[in-house]
Structure 1
């Protein structure tokens, strides 16, 4: 999650290139067409987008494990002549205070349209795997939902929805706790939903690698910067979070959570419906929610 800076009125125009897109948007738009080595470089650009200007092209190549020539080809693939032009682009973005705050009705309309597009993109990504993922989450003996930092609220919401329709749904990590004790016993019969939006701690990749080695199916809910992480999981549901406002938006992720929970309820059938009814009765008996 990033905060906005005030944009001075004298800021230079943002270099937009031939397509009018920012660097991160260009990477997202062209990633699928990049050669494998350039994809490694693109992953580094996304992972370090907030502080790219502090690196040299050679340092970025080292981080990506590719040659300087590969990074140069990547910059050209993204519409820049060289890394100097990338730096100019990044400085201009900072000068404009991007991400920018919303300030007019036109901006609000654009925000609503962008949110709708993000939701459609996430729903389309989910549709590819919906049957397999919903079956897994409905019938696995245990489901573990993992989320850290800004991913935690989405993970908490998903756990709350799933536990409405099935038992044995855990949320990790618990406040102030590590997760090793809870994941060490996971088996290929269990299921993990890894919520991992950008600004992920480095331990997330180690966790995904361990789960893959254990044969535990993993569903990844994450934004486009998780492409490298996605190679270690069973299914990846891409949920865009990028906006032109000051903060990331999790509207698409919330929509995916609702769709997943509904699909799991459908697959749980009568058992799921009975659980929903029992929980509703407990709410009223214990006075946890307002009476309707």
Structure 2
């Protein structure tokens, strides 16, 4: 995977000619130009020529300005925060689009099956790394209020081998895997093969379809430098509510008992 154009500019800046430095200065100040402008437009803004712009990108290691643009877009697809749109993005519309695409793509029979598993399993294990960890943590907080035997992995400072070895036959594992996934993620999927594993991921995680029991796809958006986790959090909320309905009275009694403990401990306002 090629590096970010801006990082390459910084690395190569001392070796650039005066005209190439003009281009470098312009792109550092206007990074969106890398993907939104042609070589001719960059040349015009920097008072250089198309040939100079072409030489500039070749010096950075690209075949052309178009090659640099594609590399920049590919970085974004791989989860690297890179500016690819202007500042006029309608954030509300973007979030609504992510939510709509996510929920329209979920099949009712799969959701019903997943929720039944989460309600009836002897234990539920939630696994998430990096940006997936807070989503898994929130899911744990929700599920633990309505049913026992919920655990979150990895524990801080701990390895996974012991816990993955102790997975029960009727245990359900919910694996969260959003970009950018760690190298160990693929190995975890392989270790969990044969177990009841639910993968909650973005569209790129569908590559694991054949290795897990169910896949729930969330859309995170591609226009902003950073992905949005509104859709995964909303999915977790929906699953928690459905599981609560399935558990029924036992879930209600558990939430009441936990609320009573909150009061006794003085943990809540």
Q: Using a 3 Å threshold, how does the CA distance of structure 1 residues 12 and 165 change in structure 2: closer, same or farther? A: closer
For residues 153 and 10 of structure 1, the distance between their equivalents in structure 2, rounded to whole angstroms, comes to 30
For residues 204 and 123 of structure 1, the distance between their equivalents in structure 2, rounded to whole angstroms, comes to 25
Q: Does 1:275 align with 2:259?
A: no
Q: Using a 3 Å threshold, how does the CA distance of structure 1 residues 101 and 157 change in structure 2: closer, same or farther? A: farther
> Aligned to 1:161, what secondary structure does the other structure show?
helix
Q: Using a 3 Å threshold, how does the CA distance of structure 1 residues 169 and 114 change in structure 2: closer, same or farther? A: same
Q: Does 1:113 align with 2:119?
A: no
**Range with bigger deviation, 120-129 or 227-236:** 120-129
For residues 10 and 228 of structure 1, the distance between their equivalents in structure 2, rounded to whole angstroms, comes to 31
For residues 89 and 101 of structure 1, the distance between their equivalents in structure 2, rounded to whole angstroms, comes to 13
Q: Residue in 2 aligned with 1:204?
A: 185
Residue correspondences, number: 217
Q: Residue in 1 aligned with 2:56?
A: none
Q: Residue in 1 aligned with 2:151?
A: 170
The partner residue of 2:195 within 202, 216, 221 is 216
Higher relative CO (Cα under 8 Å, sequence separation at least 6) belongs to 1
Q: CA deviation at 1:249?
A: 0.7
Alignment gaps of 5+ in structure 2: 7-27, 39-59, 75-80
The partner residue of 1:258 within 228, 237, 258 is 237
> Aligned to 1:165, what secondary structure does the other structure show?
coil
Q: Residue in 2 aligned with 1:229?
A: 208
State the TM-score, normalizing by the size of structure 2: 0.72
> Aligned to 2:126, what secondary structure does the other structure show?
strand
Deviations 1:9-41 (CA, angstroms, capped at 9, x unpaired): 79355389xxxxxxxxxxxxxxxxxxxxxxxxx
Is the Cα–Cα contact under 8 Å of residues 147 and 155 in structure 1 kept in the other structure?
yes
Deviations 1:205-255 (CA, angstroms, capped at 9, x unpaired): 11111111xx21111111111121232111111111234223111000000
**Range with bigger deviation, 124-133 or 199-208:** 124-133
The partner residue of 1:147 within 128, 132, 139 is 128
State the TM-score, normalizing by the size of structure 1: 0.66
For residues 231 and 61 of structure 2, the distance between their equivalents in structure 1, rounded to whole angstroms, comes to 32
Q: Which has the larger radius of gyration?
A: 2
The partner residue of 2:104 within 124, 132, 137 is 124
